[in-house]
Structure 1
Amino acid sequence: MGLPGVADKKLSIFLGKFCPDPAAILAALERTKLCTELDFVPGESICRQGDRVDGCWLVLEGQIEVRADEQVVVYRGPGEIFGEQGLVHVLSGKTGTRTADVKAVGPVKLLRIDASFQERLDDKEKVAWTLTLADVINEKLEQATAMRSGLRSSATQHELLLRRFSEGDALGLVKIAASGKQVSIQNRRAIILFSDIAGFSVWSTSKAPAEVARHLGALAGIQINAVRDGGGHVDKLMGDGAMAYWFVDSGEREKCEPIAALACVRKIASVCKAYFEQHGLPLGLRMGLHVGDVSFGDFGAENRIAVTLLGAAVNTAARYEQAKSPDIGDIRISPTLRELMLSAGESPNTFRGPTKVEVKHGVELDVFSI
């Protein structure tokens, strides 16, 4: 066919498994030109429940998740097709609509076969195509039959548990890893936030463990809730510190996430300050933010899932939080992120600086602060 190598190979493998006459269908696709390669960004919707049936998709690279009733029904990976049931409805003369939501889990490449392809087939080709779709549906029915009614409840409880440890895109990757599948490392761009409660270690040495835990839990809750309300994701809690992030790897996200992240840290600073004053705690809160390219994925081991961000940008964000100087405020922002915030509409008057500050290993940073 005239398709790129990956698409041609995956399509040939798929047809070899399900189609009684692969050569006929490959020739028909070449003749009609009704298949297209499409790329989807992480979290992007591919189709929604109730949409008109206008084709089906073969997964070439990445993972998609199929959701119904706000629960994940199944994942589909390379070499698997989805949306075929709607085409069977169309073949039978019915007006089909989608029965589930489908979205990308990480970057996804698909081969879309338009529904009108079926109308261009001669009788022999139509029989081969119909049998292909029927064989796919039969295999999926067999897979569904193998499940027990108790699995639905078990899956719900499993997802609720996972949501206690991860969220957003990370949750999708954790679920893939938990199913035993390999999680691909993604190249993303993100705003990274590190926070630390200044003076907490010294203060806590003379306090009862229960009191320390009570305040630590309350302060962690303030930060977690603010990040989630601001559309961000909590990566981890580290003693009296936290790490969070906002992905900014699309034009739309670059317009809104920098302002959301700034509003979030302002809220955290304000609420934590009020908490310190209310409880008479001699503490402060430092936050450092930077934006840059990161690797996102499961960096754990065989028996340990650890979905997180890694890269130089993460280390740099941590250094902004750790910077010490009487000339900077509690919210420290890198020049790169400041420029992104200004592009998103933030006023230059919001920021003080830059101030040169020396951090670990003699590295100097230009620090803007609030």
Structure 2
Amino acid sequence: MEQWRPALLNFLKKYSSDPDGLFRALTEQGIGSIAQYRNGEIICSAGDPADCVWLIVEGGVSVQGDEKDSGHIKDRGAGSLIGEQGVLMARSPTRNFSRGTSGRTATLKAHGFTRLFRIDEVVIEKLSAENQAAWYELLAHVLNEKLAEATHQRGELIEQRDRGGSMLSRFCDKEALGLARAAFEDQPKLISNREVVVWFSDLAGFSGWATGRDSQDVSKMAAELMGLQVRAIRRCGGEIDKLMGDGLMAFWLCDGQSRSGAPLAAYRCAHEVLREFNQMKSELGAPELGLRIGLHKGPAAFGDFGTEERITITLLGETVNLASRFEQLREKDCPGVGPIRISEAVHSCIAADIGKLESAKGVRVKKEIFDVFWSNGDCDGVES
């Protein structure tokens, strides 16, 4: 028996309600012919006339998307029918509405040495009306099965995308997350100039506390004390830029009227963090630790400053450097300075909403000279 005959009968048994009867009807018409293809050889191209279907007798077929799709779609193996979608769409009265063409919807290529049994539409047209209806019902069953498979695959892809987004959100916040996603999709880098409030904080005395302690204990303490800052900053509308050991950098975008409250939100967040920190460090048995927070406002470049091998969404510019300087202030630089230090640029935005702060003019830190305002974290500096 010719190899295509058992392959066709097995196929009909899977999808037809009367496989033997349809098999007889098809074979009586001198149904089709066998064609052989080398690996990578094109069987049909998207847009070609849809005048037949093929049953894969041996080998496999790779389905490639057209210009509106993205490359490889699916591989089909022996026993599968291919080309039915184009045939059904060619017969549909709404075909021009759906694709603008009655031709093939995809390009088909041989995957390895491949033998196909071709079933032409001109042969199907010679069948009785009853057998034609049975044949096209069969094609509809095949297409529905593939659509169900595609729906399942789409669901898996959406789930993978959501898992990827969830993973990214552990590294990026809000607008930075959007830039990271764009980088993953190989979109051009977008660097923009933004007005920002930059936050730097550091766990004072942590290195000394950690000396000689078990690494697991050190890791747990750092995670607790950094975690409370991360949670508070996000609650207050800020975005985490990076964690740096026992230090943290965050920011609030404040360009535009809708973000004009960012400086006050950042300042109030600093007080919230300091209160929680002081409570937590005692509960964790580390009362000797301290926390310094520096806030500065100004322009900065925001975007992906990484390389082809690494994505780095961050802020760059003098505003970032100065915010770090405020956090780094020591008692010898500015006697009496409190744990929350802010620049004149931040203070001018929030002075009407808070109590009077301690201040010092002309403070020098690492060749930088600036005015400093500070709070010890008590309620006198914040009006809710």
- State if a TM-score over 0.5 links the two structures: yes
User: Quick one: distance in 1 between partners of 2:199 and 2:300?
Assistant: 13
Q: Distance in 2 between matches of 1:207 and 1:192?
A: 32
Amino acid at match of 1:346: D
RMSD value, Cα: 2.5
1:304 alignment partner, SS class: coil
* Per-residue deviation, residues 101-152 of structure 1 (Å, max 9, x unmatched): xxxxxxxxxxxxxxxxxxxxxxxxxxxxxxxx9889xxxx99xx89833211
Give the partner amino acid of 1:329.
G
1:341 maps to what in 2? Answer: 350
> Matches of residues 1-370 of structure 1 in structure 2 within 5 Å?
148-254=154-260, 256-278=261-283, 279-324=285-330, 325-342=334-351, 345-347=352-354, 349-360=355-366, 362-370=367-375
Once the 2 structures are TM-superposed, how far is the Cα of residue 355 of structure 1 from its aligned partner?
4.2
Q: 1:242: how far off?
A: 0.2
Q: Quick one: distance in 1 between partners of 2:209 and 2:363?
A: 26
Q: Which sections of structure 1, spanning at least 5 residues, go unmatched? A: 1-132
TM-score under structure 1 length normalisation: 0.58
**Matches of 2:315 and 2:286 in 1, distance apart?**
35
Runs of 4+ in 1 over 3 A off after TM superposition: 133-136, 145-149
Instruction: Give 3-state SS (helix, strand or coil) of 1:197's partner.
Output: strand
- Give the deviation of 1:167 after TM superposition: 1.1
Distance in 1, Cα, partners of 2:218 & 2:170? 22
Q: Is the 8 A contact 2:193 2:301 kept in 1?
A: yes
Whole-angstrom CA distance in 2 between matches of 1:262 and 1:277: 23
Deviation, structure 1 residue 350: 3.7
- Residue type of the alignment partner of 2:171: F
CA distance in 2, matches of 1:280, 1:233: 27
Return the offset for 1:322.
0.3
1:328–1:355: 8 Å Cα contact kept in structure 2? no
Looking at structure 1, the residues matched to 181 and 286 of structure 2 have their Cα atoms a distance apart, in angstroms, of: 42
Q: CA deviation at 1:203?
A: 1.5
Q: Take 2:338 and 2:281, find their aligned partners in 1: how far apart are those partners?
A: 17
Looking at structure 1, the residues matched to 99 and 307 of structure 2 have their Cα atoms a distance apart, in angstroms, of 38
Residues in 2 aligned to 1:206 and 1:161: alpha-carbon distance in whole angstroms = 34
For residues 299 and 186 of structure 1, the distance between their equivalents in structure 2, rounded to whole angstroms, comes to: 11
Cα displacement string for residues 151-208 of structure 1 (whole angstroms, at most 9, x for unaligned residues) = 1111111111111111100000000001111121011000000000111111211211
Q: Which amino acid aligns with 1:203?
A: W
Contact kept, 8 Å, 1:193 with 1:245, in 2: the verdict is yes
Deviations 1:53-92 (A, max 9, x none): xxxxxxxxxxxxxxxxxxxxxxxxxxxxxxxxxxxxxxxx
- Give 1:253 deviation, angstroms: 1.1
Tell me: CA distance 1:152–1:287, structure 2 relative to 1, closer, same or farther (3 Å).
same
- The unaligned stretches of length 5 or more in structure 2 are 1-96, 107-149, 376-384
The amino acid across from 2:204 in the alignment is: A
Q: Give SS of 1:148's match.
A: helix
Quick one: structure 1 residues 334 and 248, their matched pair in 2 at CA, closer, same or farther if it must change by over 3 Å? same
Deviations 1:276-304 (A, max 9, x none): 22223311000000000010000011010
Asked if the contact 1:323/1:358 (under 8 Å) is kept, the reply is no
SS in 1 for 2:196: strand
Helix, strand or coil at the partner of 1:213: helix
Alpha-carbon distance between aligned partners in 1 of 2:175 and 2:218, rounded to the nearest angstrom: 32
Q: Distance in 1 between matches of 2:99 and 2:202?
A: 57
